[in-house]
Amino acid sequence: MKKYEPIEKYVNSVYNVSTDIWIWQSIIGRIVNEYENEGLNERDLFASIFTIYDIDKKSGNGLLKVFQNNDIRITTKSLREQKKLFFRWIINSSILKIYNSVEILLQSVILEEFLGQDSKNFGKKEIKLINKEIRDCFQKENWGNFNTRNNRHLIQYLKFKSPEVEEFMKNEVRVDLKSNWEEFFELTSILRNVIAHNGMLIEKDTLNNIGNSAIDIFEQYFSTELKVDELTILNPNQSQILNFLNMINEFAANMVKFTKGEGNLQFAGFK
């Protein structure tokens, strides 16, 4: 079956993400259970310290220095909590990877469908062409300032070019959720910025922005209980997060389908 190349690239980029998370959550979960069920007293499994060479500017030689009062000690009793911390940054990094793949996919479709360019060798040159096309459209249609924040320019352009995309974006993501697909993408864009630029820490203003986009989805798949210096840590619900990642994949594939005016996903290699 012939496959649509931008979708094929997207699938190859993100397919292993959810698979790896599911497999390693299962395997590491079993290992944690085995240690907890040993029936022995708490014992150390791992310990580490943070070290850096203090380099002399003239000789280039250095002495190894230890950062004080910041050692890590993992025991049989703390292993479950360490598992949660480990998968928190793995999952958040996975959201970043998938979002970047969505961004490239949407840009590739614009390049092929509306600019008549091949997206096979997608790069900075192609991004400039896309941004110029959308900026010109902003000016021609009097959309105001060219706004690339959270990739809103891509969404506005695709909605303008495709009535089917515009209709799709108004649909609720799930029957039990009030947020629509446009609000979902805005939320995902906000989370991407939190992960990439703010060390997975959510500022108060960002929380307010989330409340204005897809708060019901956020509350279902993330919690705001953990804090560091009054900032909220982006903490995914690890038992449910694969459903959130699937939503991103659904958004990406269906955006391409509606942009191309296809009736189903068969064109992209789905049966």
The residue whose two tokens read 């209980």 is 225
Domain ranges of the chain: 5-268
Give the mean pLDDT of 23-33: 93
pLDDT tens-place string over residues 125-142 = 999 999 999 999 999 988
Rounded to the nearest integer, the mean pLDDT of the chain is 92
Contact 22, 242 (CB under 8 A): yes
Give the residue, 221 or 120, on which the prediction is more confident: 221
* Rounded Cα–Cα distance for residues 211 and 217 (Å): 10
pLDDT tens-place string over residues 147-196 = 888 999 999 999 999 999 999 999 999 999 999 999 999 999 999 999 99
Task: State both tokens at 264.
Answer: 């189903």
pLDDT on residue 148: 87
Nearest to 226 by CA among 238, 212, 209: 238
CB neighbour burial string for 76-86, b if at least 16 within 10 angstroms, e if fewer: bebbeebbeee
Alpha helices of the chain — where are they, by DSSP H?
Answer: 5-36, 79-114, 124-140, 152-161, 163-170, 181-197, 204-211, 215-221, 241-260
pLDDT tens-place string over residues 67-118 = 987 788 999 999 999 999 999 999 999 999 999 999 999 999 999 999 998 8
